[in-house]
Amino acid sequence: MSIHQENPTGVSSEELRQHAAELDRNDPLAHFRDHFIGTDTPLSYLDGNSLGRPLKRTADDVAAFVRDEWGGRLIRGWDEKWLAMPQAIGDQMGRAVLGAAPGQTIIADSTTVVLYKLIRAALAAVQDPDRNELVLDTENFPTDRYLVEGIALEEGLTLRWIEPDPAAGVTLDQVRQVTGPRTAVVLLSQIAYRSGHLADLPGITAAVHDAGALVVWDLCHSAGSVEIDLDGADVDFAAGCTYKYLNGGPGSPAFAYVNARHLASLNQPIWGWMGRKDAFEMAAGYEPAAGIRGFLSGTPAIFGMIAMQGTLDLIEEASMGAIREKSVALTAFAVELFDAWLAPLGAELASPREPGERGGHITVDHPDFTKATVEALWDGDVIPDFRSPHGIRVGLSPLSTSFAEVLQGMAAIRDRLQG
């Protein structure tokens, strides 16, 4: 079926194509797309919220690292640069992305391991035996739920579940209803991985503190797509991956944020040599390094940090304010295409309609959507994501996605529905 077909909303597909072209012409961030591999091909990539495209400079950065640092300096690289990289890149991430002052962010392990460390550290900081409840929500990413369930089992704690609307997310009122004198720690995601709902991070953080508890935020789907001010909101702890909007590559290490007011009194539970004061002393007994470095455990994944440096440089050049503005415009255009092409075919928008209430992706549900639907789209070089039972998730990375790319992908989804 041609992209020029009329649709029941009265807006022709040709008008939508012209609108996409106009949006691209007026996009102040359009030139950033040229920094990414594959953006000059016909492929429509609608899954940047799962794995970001690589930067063109990444191949050169990795080659230079192998040739000049690893190959040239060998073991000397640890003393000369590598030991400092987790915190140096963490500080840049705090400055560019997280709204965090230096000394509070570090690149560490996988998101799962980082979250485990932060939750256990938060529980140890509570120091009140009457606070024996962990709060989480039924729509959070599986890792988050599994971790909290496992920690509750280990520590004999009670789980308090929030049950949000799957097409929206956790609200401030819901958090207020379940937190109180027995709450120890609350774990939430700033952006719901399925619906794209953007939680009220400042308001919820304040509500958790009003209840006398601590909060851990999962920023996996928000870091690099929305403006964040962790220090301004007085967030206790946060974690997030770096392979989505930060383009660190498959399995690149996650970051940990710990508010400066907690650092002097906290210990994280996974003691390893790199988190010890003077790691190369190799002495008996564990004495944690001062500050955020104490949240390291094993040897840092230096290779996994190289790619994200390029994106952090671009983010600082573009600014998170401009990135968020484009993210809103991209999802708004995707919703416009949904209304014109997919809603008349029986699809439902499983994401908030208000742009300020969603992050960088939307989810569209239809009874005919299956994993096979997405596999067929992939075969045609249109790459969204599938979310069971009947959802197609459209993830739009502001620095690398064009409006024409969104048009092409949504048209392909329409064509699959029409058969």
Catalytic residue among 57, 393, 414, 416: 393
Residue 109: closest CA among 263, 247, 310, 256: 256
Residue 114: closest CA among 213, 231, 220: 220
Residues 30/31/33/39 CA torsion (nearest 10 deg)? 100
Q: Return the pLDDT at 9.
A: 56
Catalytic residue among 24, 141, 165, 415: 141
Mean pLDDT of the chain: 95
Distance CA 210, CA 212 (A): 5
Beta partners for residue 137, in sequence order = 162
* Angle CA 245–403–334, to nearest 5: 80
Mean per-residue pLDDT, 129-136: 97
Q: Specify whether the CB–CB gap between 108 and 294 falls below 8 A.
A: no
Q: Return the pLDDT at 1.
A: 28
Confidence at 267, pLDDT banded by 50, 70, 90? confident
Residue 192: closest CA among 229, 160, 217: 217
Check the CA dihedral 259-262-263-269 and report its sign.
negative
Tell which wins on pLDDT, 384 or 11.
384
Residue 283, phi-psi category: left (phi > 0), alpha (psi -120 to 50), beta (remainder): beta
Confidence at 280, pLDDT banded by 50, 70, 90? confident
Domain layout of the chain by residue ranges: 13-55+320-418, 81-316
Mean per-residue pLDDT, 97-126: 97
What are 365-379's pLDDT values in tens digits? Answer: 999 999 999 999 999
Mean per-residue pLDDT, 78-101: 97
Distance CA 305, CA 248 (A): 7
Confidence at 6, pLDDT banded by 50, 70, 90? very low
Catalytic residue among 218, 236, 365, 385: 218
How many residues are recorded in the chain? 419
What are 182-209's pLDDT values in tens digits? Answer: 999 999 999 999 999 999 999 999 999 9
Q: Return the pLDDT at 2.
A: 33
Taking CA atoms, 365 is separated from 108, 349, 350, in Å, by: 36, 6, 6
DSSP letters spanning 360-375? SEEEEE-TT--HHHHH
Residue 275: closest CA among 285, 266, 288, 263: 288
* Angle CA 264–287–299, to nearest 5: 100
Beta partners for residue 216, in sequence order = 187, 237
Q: Please state whether the peptide bond connecting residue 129 to the residue before it is cis, i.e. omega within 30 degrees of 0.
A: no
Mean per-residue pLDDT, 327-355: 97
Per-residue pLDDT at 307 exceeds 50: yes
Distance CA 335, CA 5 (A): 18
Q: Which run of H or of E encompasses 34?
A: none
What are 364-417's pLDDT values in tens digits? Answer: 999 999 999 999 999 999 999 999 999 999 999 999 999 999 999 999 999 999
Distance CA 36, CA 51 (A): 13
> Which CATH code for domain 13-55+320-418?
3.90.1150.10
Distance CA 55, CA 295 (A): 29
Is 218 a catalytic site residue?
Answer: yes
Instruction: Provide the 3-class DSSP secondary structure of residue 276.
Output: strand
Is 286 a catalytic site residue?
Answer: no
What percent of the chain has a predicted confidence (pLDDT) above 90?
94
Mean per-residue pLDDT, 99-126: 97
Distance CA 267, CA 275 (A): 10
Catalytic residue among 244, 324, 358, 387: 244
**Cα 124 from chain centroid?**
26
Write down the pTM of the prediction: 0.95
Residues 304/307/313/315 CA torsion (nearest 10 deg)? -90
| Per CATH, domain 81-316 is 2.30.30.90 | no
Mean per-residue pLDDT, 292-315: 96
Tell which wins on pLDDT, 3 or 349.
349
Per-residue pLDDT at 3 exceeds 80: no
Is 277 a catalytic site residue?
Answer: no
Residue 331: closest CA among 198, 173, 171: 198
Per-residue pLDDT at 361 exceeds 80: yes
